[in-house]
Amino acid sequence: MRVARPTGAGDLRVAREPDPDDVPAGHRRVRVTAVGLCGSDLHWFAEGGIGDAVVEQPLVLGHEFAGVLDDGTRVAVDPAIPCGLCESCLEGNPNLCPTVRFAGHSTQDGGLRELLVWPEHRLHPLPDTISDAGGAVLEPLGVAVHAFDLGHVRIGSTVAVVGCGPIGLLVVQLARASGATSVLAVEPLTHRRQAALDYGADLALSPDEAATYPGGFDVAFEVAGTDAAVDTAMQLVRPGARVVLAGIPDDDRTSFSAALARRKGLSLIMVRRMKDVYPRAIALVQRGLVDVESLVTARYPLERADEAFAAAVKREGLKTVIV
Q: Where are the domains of the chain?
A: 2-142+274-322, 143-270
Is the distance from CB of 308 to CB of 320 less than 8 angstroms? yes
Write down the pLDDT at residue 294.
98
pTM score of the predicted model: 0.95
- Has residue 46 got a pLDDT over 80? no
Q: Is 74 helix (H, G, I), strand (E, B) or coil?
A: strand
Lowest average pLDDT, out of 38-52, 88-102, 187-201, 292-306, goes to 38-52
Q: What is the pLDDT of residues 257-307, one digit of tens each?
A: 999 999 999 999 999 999 999 999 999 999 999 999 999 999 999 999 999
Helix 190-198 vs helix 166-177: crossing angle, to nearest 10: 20
Domain topology for 2-142+274-322: Quinone Oxidoreductase; Chain A, domain 1 (3.90.180)
Q: Pick from 62, 65, 142, 70: which is nearest to 109 by CA?
A: 62
* Helix, strand, coil tally for the chain in percent (to 5): 35, 30, 40
C-alpha distances out from residue 288 to 44, 123, 208, 285, Å: 33, 22, 34, 5
Full strand arrangement of the beta sheet holding 158-162: 203-205, 182-186, 158-162, 217-222, 237-245, 267-270
CATH architecture of 143-270: 3-Layer(aba) Sandwich (3.40)
* 124 C-beta neighbours (distance < 10 Å), count: 18
Write down the pLDDT at residue 141.
98
Q: Determine the Cα–Cα distance for residues 74 and 61; give it in Å rounded to an integer.
A: 21
* 267 C-beta neighbours (distance < 10 Å), count: 16
Identical fold for domains 2-142+274-322 and 143-270, yes or no, is no
**What contacts 116, CB < 8 A, 6 or more positions away?**
20, 29, 30, 32, 67, 109
Q: Where are the alpha helices (H) located in 200-277, listed in sequence order?
A: 207-210, 227-236, 258-264
Write down the pLDDT at residue 52.
59
